[in-house]
């Protein structure tokens, strides 16, 4: 029983945690660093932004970067790009993290249920996931967003729906394996209820792969949200949103390239932050997944 | 083999039905009265009632779905508001353009991806190997439409080497088409190229560490020969799986790429449909691309089983 408890909950294994090793992990430090800066900017945008992100200035349209008072220049309405980027960081983090977390919880619960219950329920859930996987990439999100009408909430709903199946499938896969383990059999023999076994013995095993995948998926959702915004399906003007800024700046690429290129750089940087953190988490939490597999 | 194909086909049919159900549901989640979108809010009640009947909106949800299926079987995808003609006509006229771009992108991504992955795997840990890791990370994290804009900026607007929009210009011709294709193909291929390079590298490193490669080395066979005739063919199944998975990305990536480069494909039509809330066209485009994706996967599975007898029993 003691061995079973150790495997299931990780209790009883007192390992001294090597923080020095974490700091020497370049991937982790860079990823966390990028995300920390983004979060700092997002939280303190009110204080550190040099201008009002909404204030248009008709005589200062399309100023190039490093103009006096406008470090990253201005856009088509003469608004300060740096300030809009800073406020935009809030939305960028929100639309990357919130849909991922909600999809993780829903998809995880469905996957746990399907894998644990098995039989007909498992088949039904998996067939629904199969259908959702049949839609390539951004398309289903585009359809849902367009049908619900453009806007932040439609975009988030669309992103949640298309992210659920991946989490569901991962959790189900792990649960199918764990279900056969001796300690689950032992718990069943001891007469524990299904809910208790599922939550206390099966769930902890699912956490590592789900956290790793969740972090990488957050990076993908940064791009997905930016793509939907770029197509005009995200938050509507004048909300400072990176994808929308990029889409708006595209029209002036020949004369003021910075209006489109700078927000694109911010999107890429945020995605890199999550991808690095995900890669590091994969190496640390799940050595079996260390090799490129996604 | 035939029974494998039949079994796989039997699995594919329900998925295609599921796809039609999902695209049908898109029209059911439109908030408010769909006739508002089609006729505008100022339309008379009589006109609305007529349209409702014509579109079958007065039927039950199941009745509407059956009507939708019946129409699909007859090639009727509805009427596009943006183009004022049947959706099927819009899609048919653009299908080949999207397929051409996706095909060119998968060829480019496969060739460059396998080459880059092999190049890096030959010297693991070297400068070029680390450089590949960084490039892969960047390509993976970069929004494709941003990459497209950067390419337009560099090769179109600054260097003035390549056209940046449309499919042909002037008199057209093959060379002209190729010139127009180059930047969109590169943009679309970038993400897949990164995935293929990464998989080639890791799967080749696995194979290079195996016994028969060591044996080949001990027999004094040259390194290049070992890689191309012994290691690479054995690393290929994993790479082919990744290439197959990329097809879906390429079909959906077409929306972004075609929008940035005004490439007259299904993706651009769907982008134009967003601003007018032309749901029938969006539905039709999604359905066509999803079914294409399912059929491509089906074909890849068959080819995979044909070339790899081990999985036939699975």
Is residue A94 classed exposed, middle or buried when 0-12, 13-18 and 19+ CB atoms within 10 A define those classes? middle
Tens-place pLDDT, residues B235-291: 888 888 888 888 878 888 889 999 999 999 999 999 999 988 899 999 999 999 999
Contact call for A253 and B149, based on CB within 8 A: yes
Of B150, B255, B294, the CB nearest to A142: B255
Interface of A with B in 148-177 (CB under 8 A): 148-150
- Write down the ipTM of this complex: 0.90
pLDDT at A10 exceeding the cut of 90: no
CB atoms under 10 Å from CB of A128, counted, come to 17
Whole-number pLDDT of residue B208:
84
Whole-number pLDDT of residue B310:
63
Instruction: Pull the structure tokens for residue B188.
Output: 């679309």
Q: How wide is the angle at C-alpha B306 spanned by C-alphas B304 and B307, nearest 5°? A: 70
Top-confidence residue, A24 or B178:
B178
One domain for residues B114 and B138: yes
Of A136, A253, A267, the CB nearest to B252: A136
User: Residue B199 contacts by C-beta under 8 Å, 6 or more apart in sequence?
Assistant: A292, B117, B238, B239, B242
- For range A193-219, the mean pLDDT: 88
- Taking contacts as CB-CB distances below 8 angstroms, the residues of chain B near A130 are 15, 18
Whole-number pLDDT of residue A12:
43
pLDDT at A7 exceeding the cut of 70: no
pLDDT at A33 exceeding the cut of 90: yes
- For range B217-244, the mean pLDDT: 84
Q: Identify the band that residue A231 occupies on the pLDDT scale cut at 50, 70 and 90.
A: very high
One domain for residues B112 and B61: no
Q: Which of B72-86, B126-140, B232-246 has the lowest mean pLDDT?
A: B232-246
User: Residue A142 contacts by C-beta under 8 Å, 6 or more apart in sequence?
Assistant: A158, A228, A231, A233, B255, B270, B274, B282, B286
Of the candidates A98, A78, A83, which has an alpha carbon nearest to the alpha carbon of residue A155? A98
Measure in Å the smallest separation between the Cα of B274 and chain A Cα atoms: 6
CATH code of residue B99: 1.10.3720.10
Whole-number pLDDT of residue A16:
59
Phi/psi region, residue A161 (left: phi>0; alpha: psi -120 to 50; beta: rest), is alpha
Tens-place pLDDT, residues A110-119: 999 999 888 8
pTM of the complete model:
0.90
Q: Identify the band that residue B233 occupies on the pLDDT scale cut at 50, 70 and 90.
A: confident
Q: Which of A201-210, A281-290, B179-188, B256-265 has the lowest mean pLDDT?
A: A281-290
Q: Identify the band that residue B33 occupies on the pLDDT scale cut at 50, 70 and 90.
A: confident
Residue finishing a domain among B20, B54, B76: B76
Gap between the Cα atoms of A144 and A157, Å rounded: 8
Of B18, B30, B248, the CB nearest to A147: B30
pLDDT at A291 exceeding the cut of 50: no
One domain for residues B109 and B188: yes
Give the domain range for residue B98: 87-313
Q: What is the DSSP string of A261-284?
A: HHHHHHHHHHHHHHHHHHHHHHHH
- For range B31-59, the mean pLDDT: 81
Gap between the Cα atoms of A41 and A43, Å rounded: 6
Whole-number pLDDT of residue A288:
55
Which segment, A12-26, A125-139, A152-166, B239-253, is predicted with the most confidence on average?
Answer: A152-166
Tens-place pLDDT, residues B131-150: 998 998 899 889 999 999 99
One domain for residues B38 and B113: no
Give me the number of domains chain B comprises.
2
Of the candidates B198, B194, B200, which has an alpha carbon nearest to the alpha carbon of residue B235? B200
One domain for residues B53 and B124: no
Instruction: Pull the structure tokens for residue B225.
Output: 């020969």
CB A148 within 8 A of CB A234: no
- SS in 3 state form for chain B? CHHHHHHHHHHHHHHHHHHHHHHHHHHHCCCCCHHHHHHCCCCCHHHHHHHHHHHCCCCCHHHHHHHHHHHHHCCCCCEECCCCEEHHHHHHHHHHHHHHHHHHHHHHHHHHHHHHHHHHHCCCCCHHHHHHHHHHHHHHHCCHHHHHHHHHHHHHHHCCCCCCCCCCCCCCCHHHHHHHHHHHHHHHHHHHHHHHHHHHHHHHHHHHCCHHHHHHHHCCCCHHHHHHHHHHHHHHHHHHHHHHHHHHHHHHHHHHHHHHHCCCCHHHHHHHHHHCCCHHHHHHHHHHHHHHHHHHHHHHHHHHHHHCHHHHHC
- For range B18-34, the mean pLDDT: 89
Whole-number pLDDT of residue A262:
96
- Taking contacts as CB-CB distances below 8 angstroms, the residues of chain B near A148 are 29-31
Top-confidence residue, A5 or A101:
A101
A193 φ, ψ to 5°? -70, 160
One domain for residues B172 and B305: yes
Instruction: Pull the structure tokens for residue B255.
Output: 């929306």
Q: Which of B24-28, B44-48, B113-117, B127-131 has the lowest mean pLDDT?
A: B44-48
Chain A's closest residue to B152, CA to CA, is A253
Whole-number pLDDT of residue B300:
82
One domain for residues B162 and B307: yes
pLDDT at A9 exceeding the cut of 90: no
% of chain A residues with pLDDT over 70:
90
One domain for residues B53 and B113: no
- For range A250-272, the mean pLDDT: 94
Q: Note whether A65 contacts B: Cβ–Cβ < 8 A.
A: no
Whole-number pLDDT of residue A43:
97
Q: Identify the band that residue A287 occupies on the pLDDT scale cut at 50, 70 and 90.
A: low
Tens-place pLDDT, residues A72-107: 999 999 999 999 999 999 999 999 999 999 999 999
Residue finishing a domain among B76, B102, B129: B76
One domain for residues B228 and B286: yes
Whole-number pLDDT of residue A15:
55
Is residue B24 situated within a structural domain?
no
Gap between the Cα atoms of B211 and A188, Å rounded: 45
Element (H, E) at A86: helix A81-117
Q: Identify the band that residue B314 occupies on the pLDDT scale cut at 50, 70 and 90.
A: very low
Handedness of CA A165, A171, A174, A178 (dihedral sign): negative
- For range B95-118, the mean pLDDT: 94
Q: Identify the band that residue A258 occupies on the pLDDT scale cut at 50, 70 and 90.
A: very high
One domain for residues B53 and B163: no
Gap between the Cα atoms of A193 and A116, Å rounded: 12
Interface of A with B in 106-135 (CB under 8 A): 127-128, 130-132, 134-135
Whole-number pLDDT of residue B161:
93
- Taking contacts as CB-CB distances below 8 angstroms, the residues of chain B near A250 are 149, 260
Q: Which stretches of A14-80 are DSSP H helices? A: 19-24, 26-43, 45-48
Whole-number pLDDT of residue B311:
58
Whole-number pLDDT of residue B194:
92
Contact call for A223 and B141, based on CB within 8 A: yes
Helix (H, G, I), strand (E, B) or coil at A228: helix
Q: What is the CA radius of gyration of chain A?
A: 23
Residue finishing a domain among B24, B45, B76: B76
Handedness of CA B151, A96, A102, A32 (dihedral sign): positive
One domain for residues B67 and B121: no
Is residue B2 situated within a structural domain?
no
Gap between the Cα atoms of B292 and B284, Å rounded: 12
Chain B's closest residue to A226, CA to CA, is B143
Is residue B8 situated within a structural domain?
no
Instruction: Pull the structure tokens for residue A8.
Output: 């299931």
Average pLDDT, chain A: 88
Whole-number pLDDT of residue A17:
62
Whole-number pLDDT of residue B209:
82
Number of H helices, E strands in chain A: 13, 0
Interface of A with B in 190-229 (CB under 8 A): 219, 223, 226-227
pLDDT at A6 exceeding the cut of 50: no
B85 φ, ψ to 5°? -150, 170
One domain for residues B282 and B308: yes
Distances (CA, A) of B30 to A144, B36, B67, B280: 9, 11, 18, 12
Is residue B236 situated within a structural domain?
yes
Gap between the Cα atoms of B80 and B90, Å rounded: 8
Top-confidence residue, B255 or A25:
B255
Q: Identify the band that residue B173 occupies on the pLDDT scale cut at 50, 70 and 90.
A: confident
């Amino acid at each position: 029983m003691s061995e079973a408890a150790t495997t299931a909950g990780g209790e009883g294994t007192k390992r001294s945690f090597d923080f020095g090793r974490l700091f020497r992990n370049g991937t982790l430090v860079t990823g966390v660093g990028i995300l920390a800066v983004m979060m700092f900017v997002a939280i303190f945008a009110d204080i550190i932004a040099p201008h009002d992100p909404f204030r248009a200035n008709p005589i200062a349209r399309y100023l190039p970067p490093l103009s006096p008072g406008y470090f990253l220049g201005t856009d088509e309405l003469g608004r300060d790009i740096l300030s809009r980027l800073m406020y935009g960081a809030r939305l960028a983090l929100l639309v990357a993290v919130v849909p991922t977390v909600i999809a993780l919880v829903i998809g995880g619960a469905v996957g746990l249920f399907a894998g644990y219950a098995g039989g007909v329920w498992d088949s039904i859930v998996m067939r629904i996931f199969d259908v959702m996987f049949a839609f390539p990439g951004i398309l289903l999100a585009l359809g849902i967003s367009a049908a619900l009408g453009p806007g932040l909430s439609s975009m988030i709903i669309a992103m949640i729906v298309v992210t659920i199946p991946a989490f569901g499938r991962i959790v189900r896969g792990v649960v199918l394996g764990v279900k056969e383990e001796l300690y689950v059999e032992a718990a069943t023999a001891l007469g524990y209820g299904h809910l208790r076994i599922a939550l206390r013995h099966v769930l902890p095993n699912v956490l590592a792969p789900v956290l790793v995948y969740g972090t990488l998926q957050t990076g993908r959702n940064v791009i997905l949200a930016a793509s939907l915004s770029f197509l005009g399906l995200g938050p509507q003007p004048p909300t400072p949103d990176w994808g929308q800024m990029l889409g708006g700046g595209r029209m002036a690429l020949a004369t003021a390239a910075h209006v489109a290129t700078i927000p694109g750089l911010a999107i890429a940087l945020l995605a890199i932050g999550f991808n690095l953190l995900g890669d590091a988490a994969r190496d640390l939490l799940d050595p079996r997944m260390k090799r490129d597999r996604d | 083999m035939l029974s494998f194909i039949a079994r796989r086909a039997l699995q594919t049919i329900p998925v295609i039905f599921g796809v039609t159900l999902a695209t049908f549901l898109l029209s059911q989640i439109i908030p408010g009265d769909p006739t508002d979108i089609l006729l505008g809010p100022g339309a008379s009640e009589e006109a609305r009632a007529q349209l409702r009947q014509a579109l079958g909106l007065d039927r039950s949800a199941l009745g509407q779905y059956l009507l939708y299926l019946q129409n699909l079987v007859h090639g009727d995808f509805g009427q596009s508001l943006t183009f004022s003609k049947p959706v099927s006509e819009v899609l048919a006229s653009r299908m080949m353009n999207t397929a051409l771009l996706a095909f060119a992108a998968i060829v480019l991504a496969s060739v460059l991806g396998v080459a880059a992955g092999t190049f890096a795997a030959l010297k693991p840990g070297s400068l070029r190997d680390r450089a590949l890791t960084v490039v892969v990370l960047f390509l993976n994290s970069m929004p494709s439409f941003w990459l497209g804009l950067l390419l337009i900026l560099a090769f179109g607007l600054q260097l003035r080497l390549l056209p940046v929009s449309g499919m042909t210009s002037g008199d057209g011709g093959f060379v002209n088409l190729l010139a127009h294709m180059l930047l969109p193909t590169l943009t679309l291929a970038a993400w897949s190229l990164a995935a293929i390079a990464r998989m080639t590298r890791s799967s080749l490193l696995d194979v290079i560490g195996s016994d028969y490669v060591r044996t080949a080395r001990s027999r004094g066979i040259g390194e290049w020969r070992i890689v191309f005739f012994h290691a690479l063919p054995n690393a290929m199944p994993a790479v082919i799986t990744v290439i197959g998975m990329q097809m879906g990305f390429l079909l959906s990536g077409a929306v972004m790429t075609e929008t940035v480069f005004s490439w007259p494909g299904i993706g651009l039509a769907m982008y134009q449909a967003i601003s007018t809330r032309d749901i029938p066209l969006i539905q039709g485009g999604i359905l066509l691309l999803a079914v294409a994706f399912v059929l491509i996967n089906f074909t890849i599975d068959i080819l995979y089983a044909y070339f790899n007898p081990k999985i036939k029993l699975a």
